[in-house]
Amino acid sequence: MTSQVILSTSGATKRFGGVTAVNNVDFSINRGEVVGILGPNGAGKSSFFNLLAGAIQPDSGTITFLDEDVTSAQSHDMCAKGLARTFQIVRPLKGLTVLENVMVGAFAKTRSVREAKEIATSAIELVGLAGWESVVSSNLTLGYRKRLEVARALATKPEILLLDEVMSGLNPAELDSFIEMLRSVNKDGVTLIVVEHIVSAVVQISTRIVVIVQGSTIANGTPSEVVNNKLVIDAYLGELDYEVS
């Protein structure tokens, strides 16, 4: 795939009262990339993420998606254009079954119930939830709820998928298969942005990593560049021995 910019921000800024959560961020991601966004707690990762997803709108700066200005687009508009997201705290539609949850996502691109069911079924298979279709989602374990979030987002047939701490809280076995699943999603042509606390997971899956501290990007490069960056170590990683596998 050609390296073509799919989503970018220019000077994106968001303030909440006196706090500047996102400060003048220039960011861009090419089609097919997997970009990890790292940063300590309260760094503005989630705010930046919400800006991209259209859940909140920037005070200044612009956001461009597929060569279109989407600065003031709402989240359901962004979804229709091909950007899907998951939530940091999983939000299954509790009273609905797994299949129904994912079908709601599928309806973003179709009116037909039958087609929505087909799209949903294949998304459910892709994330490894096959066999759980008729289970009410409030009965799922955390790991499975996270998979459900991804399936629901995938069913909207996104060009780009934003994952907000989708791997935190998983046990090591779950984590490995989750990373495997995300790789196959990416291989299917979906560009990924991964906001994450788990440095090792981000390093494993990302082709590029951006580090945000106090609302600004302080590093942007390949995983090994970023992990060895002096600024990043000081601000975030601390004086630990990080080995890049």
Q: Does residue 140 sit in helix, strand or coil?
A: coil
Nearest CB to other proteins, comparing residues 68 and 243: 68
**Alpha helix segments (H runs only) across 155-210:** 172-187, 199-205
**Quick check: 84 binds other proteins (CB under 8 A)?**
yes
Footprint (CB under 8 A) of other proteins, residues 181-240 = none
In the set 19, 42, 72, 131, which binds other proteins (CB under 8 A)?
A: 131
Alpha-carbon gap, residue 245 to 238, rounded angstroms:
18
Q: Is residue 100 part of the contact set for other proteins (CB under 8 A)? A: yes
Of 11 and 131, the one with the shorter C-beta distance to other proteins is 131
The set of residues, in sequence order, having a beta carbon less than 8 Å from that of 128 and lying 6+ positions away, is 147, 177, 181
Residue with token string 């989407």: 70
> Residue holding tokens 């800006």?
51
CB 91 within 8 A of CB 137: no
Q: How many CB atoms lie within 10 A of CB 19?
A: 12
Residue 73, token pair as written in the block:
């687009």
Q: Rounded distance, CA 145 to CA 123, Å? A: 14
Residue 111 touching other proteins (CB under 8 A):
yes
Q: How many CA atoms lie within 13 A of 47 on its CB side?
A: 25
Q: Which of 70, 108, 167, 190 binds other proteins (CB under 8 A)?
A: 108
In the complex, minimum distance from the CB of residue 109 to other proteins, in angstroms, rounded to a whole number: 8
Asked if 80 is part of the footprint of other proteins (rule: CB under 8 A), the reply reads yes
Q: What whole-number distance in Å separates Cα of residue 8 and Cα of residue 69?
A: 10
Taking CB under 8 A as the rule, does residue 163 contact other proteins? no
Give the DSSP letter of residue 234. Answer: I
Number of residues that bind other proteins (CB under 8 A): 40
| Min CB(117)–other proteins separation in Å | 8
Least distance to other proteins, CB of residue 127, Å: 14
The interface with other proteins within residues 48-77 (CB under 8 A) comprises: 53, 55, 74-76
Strand partners, 15: 20
Q: Please identify which residue in 19, 130, 142, 231 interacts with other proteins, judged by CB under 8 A.
A: 130
Is residue 152 a contact residue for other proteins (CB under 8 A)? yes
Shortest distance, position 189 Cβ to other proteins, whole Å: 19
Q: Is 104 in the site for other proteins (CB under 8 A)?
A: yes
Residues binding other proteins (CB under 8 A): 53, 55, 74-76, 79-80, 84-85, 87, 91-96, 99-100, 103-105, 107-111, 113, 116-117, 130-135, 139, 152-153, 155-156
